[in-house]
Every structure is written in C-alpha cells, then in structure tokens.
Amino acid sequence: MCTDASALVEAIRSLAVRGAPVLGIAGAYGVALAAARGFDVEEAARALEGARPTAVNLSVGVRRAESAYRAALAETGDPTAAATAALAAARALHREDAEASARMAAHGLALLDELLPGGGHRVLTHCNTGSLVSGGEGTAFAVALAAHREGRLRRLWVDETRPLLQGSRLTAYEAARHGMAYTLLTDNAAGSLFAAGEVDAVLVGADRIAADGSVANKVGSYPLAVLARYHHVPFIVVAPLTTVDPGTPDGASIEVEQRPGFEVTELMAPQVPVTGAGAGIPVAPLGTQAHNPAFDVTPPELVTAIVTERGAVSPVTAEALAELCDGLRRTATG
C-alpha cells in the first residue's frame, strides 16, 4: 500500500505498478496523494515522471493532475481545494481509460473480423495488456477478450515474456480467469509457430507511440513484427491516444529504459516487485554482464494498424496519427 508519492515511485520502479495506461492513472493519483498530504507537489510530480522514462502515459497522468492542482490553487488560494481538484482529475482519467478500453476492444474486434473473415482467430500476444494494466479490461488483451466473448477466438497464444515473465505470470492468469482457450509458449518458440501457420494475427500494446507511428513496447515485440511481416500476418498495436506522443518525432527519439542486469542473470521469484540483486536464483556465472532493455521499437512500416479508442489507423502514417490526435484535442477543448 502506497501512503505517499515516494512509495508509489518505488512501486513503479520495481514493477509492482506497471503497464502504460495504469501508470498514467497511478501518476495522477500520486500527485493527488502528495497534494492531500501537504507535500511538495512539484517535487512529487517530477519524481513520478522520472520513475520510468519510456511509458509516456505516466507523464500524461502526472501533468494532468498537476495542472488541475495548480489551476485550482491559483483560483482559490486554498491547498485543500487544489488537492480536491487533483483528485477529481485523477478520477476522470481513470474513468476515461475504462471507457477507452471498451471502445478499443470494439474497434479491434471489428478490424480482426475485417482482416480475417470467417472467425476462429488464433492470436499471439506479448507481455500483459489486460485489466491489470488498465482502468478497464485492457488494450490488446481486451480485443482478444471481446473475440472470445463473441465466440470468435480459437486460440490465444501467450508469450512468456522474458525476463520477468509477465505473459506467463499475468496474461495466462487473466486468460484462465475468463475461460479463454490459451497456450503459453517461450518467446523463442514464436518463430516456429508462425512457420507452422498457427498464428492469424499479433496483438500487442504500446508504452509510447512516436509521431511517425514508431511503437515502443515490451522488448520482444519488434522480432514478432518482423516475423509477422515475413509470414504475412497482421501485426496490430492497441493503445489509447494518450500513448501517442506528438513531441517524440520518431523511433530513434524514444528513450528506451535499461533495466538492472540481475533480472536476466537471476531467475526471479514469481511475485512482484523485483526486489534487487540476490533475490532470485542465479542462472549465469557471478559477474556476468547482461543487456536488459525494457522495451524495443517497431518502425511504422511493420505495423499493420494502430487501434485507438477513436478507431484504427491503417496504414500507419504520421498524418493519420496527427489527425486522430487533433480530433481528440478538439473534443477535449469543446
């Protein structure tokens, strides 16, 4: 339980709180918590924003609640009223994310049915994109769940998602809870699955989408996009528009978070948070250096479509993304 912003920062860094949409929600609530407890709101906001650099939703949520706090403070001069405003902004973001999840599920299922007429979809997913990372039922997982409910999901292939196994620990749990037909596979088994013709579509989420349509997502997503292109399988990204960052021009401009090497050199215990070196079972010689990026970047030419709460973009271009984002801004400003 996080009773102050610093505890929330640690929960985010240790992955006890993770997943792009819920990071935005948590960041907003963190600002509201700091305001309610009389802490320095600006200091708390900057610490929260820096907890994980790649996921843009975190900074979106933090800035939204911080802006509400500052506007109310300027208007009333009352810190209590300002804290109430920050909390209202966080709750609004929470509601909007749940609504966006439902709309993404509907748009994503419609796209699947369009691309794969006849139903019986066999979908491969990576990492965890369900209700554990969302105010609603998730992003990519919500689309698969919608297909399941309509009787059009034949099989959900779940990548284990090394090194912290979000697929096997979390996505498999969510699939089992909903009674979905799912099968777990090691990340390096995906290629043979494509070659056997067992994958009809790939559904993944995103932690940041650059203005040109480049997608940063959990490491391992880019190789799936390459496999999908080679095997003529749709590679579909499902994310709310808050994940699109117009201020990041292209994939090369996305800062990719580097995680500690011990996550690779030690087999982590099944629970989160990741507590530090020595917490797991060593699987490499002592002193082994590890390359452990949290994310990789998929260029837009490998992305079949980006599904948002306002519809799907395909082909993925900077112009199409900008049009969607401009539409969202016009709606927000009335």
Measured CA angle at 324 (ends 320, 330), to 5 deg:
140
**Contacts with 54 (C-beta within 8 Å, 6 or more apart), sequence order:** 207, 208, 216, 254, 255, 256, 257, 294, 295
Convert the pLDDT of each residue in 62-119 to its tens digit.
999 999 999 999 999 999 999 999 999 999 999 999 999 999 999 999 999 999 988 7
pLDDT tens by residue, 155-174: 999 999 999 999 999 999 99
Closest CA to 331 of 268, 241, 252, 249: 241
Q: Which residue has the higher pLDDT, 328 or 27?
A: 27
Average pLDDT over residues 228-250: 96
* Mean pLDDT score, 280-302: 95
Spot the catalytic one: 97, 159, 200, 207: 207
Binding residues: 18-20, 52, 166, 217-218
Binding residues for substrate: 18-20, 52, 166, 217-218
Work out the percent of the chain whose per-residue pLDDT is above 90. Answer: 87
Sheet holding 208-210, edge to edge: 244-245, 208-210, 215-218, 295-298
Q: Above 50 in pLDDT, residue 334?
A: no
Burial class (CB in 10 A: 0-12, 13-18, 19+), 185: middle
Question: Residue 271: pLDDT above 60?
Answer: no
Strand extents, DSSP E, 22-166: 121-125, 153-159
* 14 burial type by CB count under 10 A (0-12 exposed, 13-18 middle, 19+ buried): middle
Which tops the pLDDT comparison, 83 or 4? 83
- DSSP annotation of 132 reads G
CA 42 to chain CA centroid, nearest Å: 25
User: Does 207 qualify as catalytic in the annotation?
Assistant: yes
Q: Decide: helix, strand or coil at residue 154.
A: strand
pTM, 2 dp: 0.92
Burial (0-12, 13-18, 19+ Cβ within 10 Å), 330: exposed
Indicate whether 267 pLDDT > 90: no
Average pLDDT over residues 222-231: 98
Q: Which domains are delineated in the chain?
A: 5-96 (1.20.120.420), 98-333 (3.40.50.10470)
User: According to the model, what pLDDT value does residue 24 have?
Assistant: 95
For residue 333, pLDDT beyond 50: no
Distance, CA of 41 to CA of 331 (rounded, Å)? 28
Quick one: pLDDT band at residue 33, thresholds 50, 70, 90? Answer: very high
Q: Which residues contact 319 (CB under 8 A, 6 or more apart)?
A: none
The identity of residue 334, as a single letter, is G
Looking at residue 272, its pLDDT comes to 47
Residue pLDDT, tens place only, 319-330: 999 998 885 544
Q: State how far Cα 50 lies from the chain centre.
A: 17
